[in-house]
Amino acid sequence: MGTIPVAFEVITFIVIIAFFIFDLITMARNPKIPTVYDCVIKISIFVVAALIFGALLWGFAGSTTAIQFYSGWLTEYSLSLDNLFIFVLIMSSFAVPRSIQKYVLGVGITIALILRGIFISIGAVIIQRFTWVFILFGLFLLFTAWKMIFGNKSSDDEYKESALICFAKHHLHLTNTYQGSLIRVVIDNKKYFTPLLIVFISLGTTDALFALDSIPAIFGLTKNPFVVFTTNVFALLGLEQLYFLLGNMLNKLKYLPIGLSIVLAFIGVKLILEALSSNSLPFINSGRPIPGIVDVPSWVSLLVIVVCIGGAAIASVLLNRKKSGSEVDQKTDKE
């Protein structure tokens, strides 16, 4: 696996920062509800951009790095669908006007990306010094995979405010209504925050909580912090458009949690085996690495991710078509 040129990393960060600043300024000045056509075009652009970025990584750092990026991007993109469901609940809970929802999502995603960057930096430092932490990551991913299938589904149907949100609501002077895209307003010579501030905090911190399982999953595919961060960037880029394009259709992807759980379980086992192959914990094999553990190639990880997530999506579509056909037959029989 080759080394990514520093100049390429610097240029990438500059482009990412410039894009988010420009996007937020544009949305703040002209908030609007995107059309289906706009959403499809922008999602297509972001997907093509991710494919091109992976090709550039291939050219600069080799095929292994590129495959790791594609694997991480697909995993993050799929896991981000859970974020969308929570975003829908948050928007509904705070009664955010639909005209400014795109701007709100943009700010929330930017906050989430900053928090993820911090998590990734901390994670990179930890895994460099303590390789045994992969065992904890792996066990956590196995637990997440189990919870994704057998966990309590009813708890996902409502949004629960965090302690931070409750504290902000009780200690900040807030207006009762939204004032367009403004966060701070002056009423009767007194300064107030609008509910937008609470929504921003809620979206950003909630997404950060979701990153607690997605980031360990990406570290199971690559140890390069730059690749880990860029997979998160490209996965989050299309969330605004997916929110408006899919919306309440997310619950129709019935088999996606099963596909994701298999992917997370696979990565969890991969992390544990990798940690055991370089073991230094005294209570495991007397502190010596366990021999005979074969490293899983990056292309195998990519194949598993594509088959599981793609298979789950196709199965969900077929199930929906079958249900639609059954409903049509029932209506025909009644008539």
For 9-33, how does the pLDDT look when each residue is reduced to its tens digit (9 = 90+)? 999 999 999 988 888 888 777 777 7
Handedness of CA 148, 124, 227, 307 (dihedral sign): negative
Number of other residues whose CB lies within 10 A of the CB of residue 290: 13
Between 249 and 86, where is the model more confident? 86
Read off the pLDDT of residues 215-259 as tens digits, 9 standing for 90 and up: 777 788 888 889 999 998 998 887 777 777 765 556 667 787 788
pLDDT higher than 70, residue 213: no
Contacts of 86 (CB under 8 A, 6+ apart): 159, 206, 207, 210
Distance CA 35, CA 245 (A): 8
- According to the model, what pLDDT value does residue 155 have? 47
pTM: 0.74
Strands (DSSP E) contained in 181-229 are 184-187, 190-193
Q: State the Cα–Cα distance between residues 300 and 48, nearest whole angstrom.
A: 23
pLDDT in the model for residue 52:
95
Span 141-177, pLDDT tens digits: 888 888 877 765 544 445 556 666 777 677 777 787 8
Domain boundaries, the chain: 6-154+199-334
- Cα 239 to Cα 200, 225, 258, 264, distances in angstroms: 15, 22, 21, 21
Main-chain phi, psi angles of 243, to 5 degrees: -60, -45
Nearest to 195 by CA among 94, 89, 91: 94
Exposed e or buried b for every residue in 161-173, given b needs 16+ CB within 10 A?
Answer: beeebeebeeeee
| CA 203 – CA 106 distance, rounded (Å) | 10
Backbone φ, ψ for residue 151 (5° rounding):
-70, 175
Nearest to 225 by CA among 119, 132, 303: 119
